[in-house]
Every structure is written in C-alpha cells, then in structure tokens.
Amino acid sequence: MSFGNAAWIWRNGSLVPWAEATFHVSAHGLHYGSGVFEGIRCYETANGPAVFRLSEHLERFYASAEVYGFKIPYTLGELTAAVTDLIAANELESCYIRPISFMGSGSLGVHPGKCPVEVAIMAWPWGAYLGSEGLEKGIRVTVSPWRKFHSSMMPTTAKACGQYLNSILAVQEAFARGYDEALLLDKDDRLAEGSGENLFVIKDGVIYTNKADDSILMGITRDAAIEIARAEGYAVESRSLELSDLVEADEAFFTGTAAEITPIRELDGQPIGSGSRGPVTAAVQSAFFNAVNGRDDRFAHWLTYLNKAVAA
C-alpha cells in the first residue's frame, strides 16, 4: 500500500497540498497516542463515487474522541462536506478515507492539559487489504500470543490511535511466522478479533459473531454483514465464541473497512471447513459488494454520493 498520487489533504478546515500537511513534533498525540481515527471506504458506482456508511463512521469518530475527553471542533455536516470535497479534489473514484483527530502541540506530560485538538482527513487509493487473492481464496490466520486488551483496561469500542499498539504487536508477530493476519483472544480465552477486523464463524448454515463484551471494536462492516446476511435469509447470532467454535467451523471470515469481507481458510495450519472460501461466505461477500457498489436498493441509504443529484 502506498499513497498513490493523492494531491490534497483536508486539515483543520481547508484543503492543503499533500506535502504541506504537517504537524509539530511536540504534538501530544505523537508522544502518547492521544488521538482517534476512522477508516472509511468510497466505492465506484454507476452514479459515480459513493462513500459507504459515512455518517456512522463520523458518529463513531466523535464518540471515540468523547471517550478520551476531547471534542472534535467540526460538525457532522462540516466533516461530511470535508470528506466529499477531498475525494473530489483528489479526483478519486474509489479510495480509503482516514480522518484523524488528536491532541496537538501545547504541552507534554501525560495529562493533555490545554493541547489544541487537531483534525485532518486523508484519502488515497487502497486496494484489497489482505490481497485480492485473499478476498477470493481466503487467508491464513494464527492465534496471537498477544491478548486483546480487556475493555476495563481501555475502551475497545473506541477507535483510538494508542490502542493500536496492541494490534501492531500481534500483526508483526503473525507476519514474522508467515501468516497473513493475527487473531487475538481476550483475557478470558474467548475469541476477540483480528488486528484490524471482526470475526464471523459459520456452522450448519448459521452465522455467529461476538459482541462488545468480548473486547471488540463494534465494526461498521460487522454491522453491515449482519444486516446483509439476514436480508439474504441467513440466521445470524451474536454470542461469545471459543477457539473451538472457529476450529470446528464450516467457514469463517473477517470483516473490516479495509479488509471488507475476507474469508479465513486456515487457522494455525489447520484448514477451516474445506480450506477455501465457503458458499455462505461467498454469498454474503457478493451481496456486500453489490451493496457498496450501489447495485442493491435495499442498502441505498448506506451510500453518500459525491454527485448530490443522486438521491439516496
């Protein structure tokens, strides 16, 4: 993944050239990870680019900041316009969008004191997170020796910069052992999530996923997958999952904005089900891509078109 040639970045209210979008090295967020971010995708549709579940992502952005005691000083309307203006300025058809807000330069010391709140948004082309082959054939996952931090240690439902150190340890360790992604257990040995994805398992035609109690980020793609699968006629249940649920599953997949819907074909060298993308995963994945690409009217309300003339 590189940043392509995206020319513009939105910073504190205006578009600035990519190379000029800098912040000072004394920023609190750099030293302590005191920031929050989002990952959003914009997809190509027959009516031009459309951002997937933009308002839900921005709502989570505000909610994550609130957990850490700061207020993002722009309204939902302003950030919505910022995202669509930025995509248009960069002339992108499909892209990944990364809003970030953090404690800026003012003072150091763990308490952020009166550090100013900075906000920036990037947008650039980002293909399949776990490879296009991964989307089709599935990926190889390992159980991480690193545990997902418990929600009593840091709020797992917030998407905060410093929290990702836990994911970084897990993904580096998994890559070093030749796997595509890490799966983290929670402190009670239940399945939590991937370094950047939520988990689903399928057994006897029923789809299962875990929930906030299992120390996960409440993924917006997770929510979309649940809704889409139900609309396609599948039963979906949320409950805590054990390692045995995954080992014995017929199929499994990860969800995330970056990862989209990625099948899991192997866990620590053991095939999951047939060891390839299973039929339920393929059906949910294909319905998901129809929804994000504007080909399914049932989910039209999830798309924010850059072309304002296209009714949602």
Q: Which of the residues are catalytic?
A: 159
**Of the candidate residues 64, 142, 198, 281, the single one contacting ligand PPE (CB under 6 A):** 198
Q: By CB under 6 A, how many residues form the interface with ligand PPE? A: 16
Q: How far apart are the first and last CA of the chain?
A: 31
210 contacts: CB under 8 Å, gap ≥ 6: 190, 191, 192, 193, 198, 199, 216, 238, 239, 240, 241
Minimum distance between the CB of residue 171 and ligand PPE, rounded to whole angstroms? 8
**Of the candidate residues 217, 261, 267, 291, the single one contacting ligand PPE (CB under 6 A):** 217
The partner residues of 95 in beta bridges, in order of sequence, read 42
Q: What letter represents residue 140's amino acid?
A: R
Q: One symbol per residue from 237 to 276: x for binding ligand PPE (CB under 6 A), - otherwise; what is it? A: ------------------xxxxx-----------------
Q: Which is nearer to ligand PPE, 54 or 115 (CB)?
A: 54
* Piece of the chain touching ligand PPE by CB under 6 A; list 61-69, 74-82, 201-209, 216-224: 216-224
Distance CA 47, CA 273 (A): 39
Minimum distance between the CB of residue 197 and ligand PPE, rounded to whole angstroms? 5
DSSP per-residue letters across 5-27: T--EEEETTEEEEGGG----TT-
The yes or no reply on residue 99 touching ligand PPE (CB under 6 A) is no
Distance CA 280, CA 298 (A): 20
With contact defined as beta carbons under 8 Å apart, do 305 and 47 qualify? yes
Q: Which is nearer to ligand PPE, 246 or 259 (CB)?
A: 259
> Alpha-carbon Rg of the chain, whole angstroms?
19
Q: Which is nearer to ligand PPE, 90 or 257 (CB)?
A: 257
Q: Which is nearer to ligand PPE, 115 or 199 (CB)?
A: 199
Q: Which residue has the tokens 């399949």?
A: 128
Minimum distance between the CB of residue 311 and ligand PPE, rounded to whole angstroms? 26
* Piece of the chain touching ligand PPE by CB under 6 A; list 17-25, 80-88, 220-228, 234-242: 220-228
Structure tokens at 98: 């990364």
Q: Which is nearer to ligand PPE, 115 or 184 (CB)?
A: 184
With contact defined as beta carbons under 8 Å apart, do 251 and 281 qualify? yes
Minimum distance between the CB of residue 153 and ligand PPE, rounded to whole angstroms? 14
CA distances from 246 to 152, 243, 251 (A): 25, 5, 8
Minimum distance between the CB of residue 189 and ligand PPE, rounded to whole angstroms? 18
Structure tokens at 182: 């890490």
270 contacts: CB under 8 Å, gap ≥ 6: 247
* Piece of the chain touching ligand PPE by CB under 6 A; list 81-89, 137-145, 193-201, 226-234: 193-201
Q: DSSP state, 163? A: G
Footprint of ligand PPE on residues 31-70 (CB under 6 A)? 39
Q: Which is nearer to ligand PPE, 167 or 209 (CB)?
A: 167
Q: Which candidate, 83, 8, 88, places its Cα nearest to that of 52? A: 83
**Of the candidate residues 64, 144, 167, 281, the single one contacting ligand PPE (CB under 6 A):** 167
The yes or no reply on residue 197 touching ligand PPE (CB under 6 A) is yes
Please report, as ranges, the residues that interact with ligand PPE according to CB under 6 A: 39, 167, 193, 196-198, 217, 219-222, 255-259
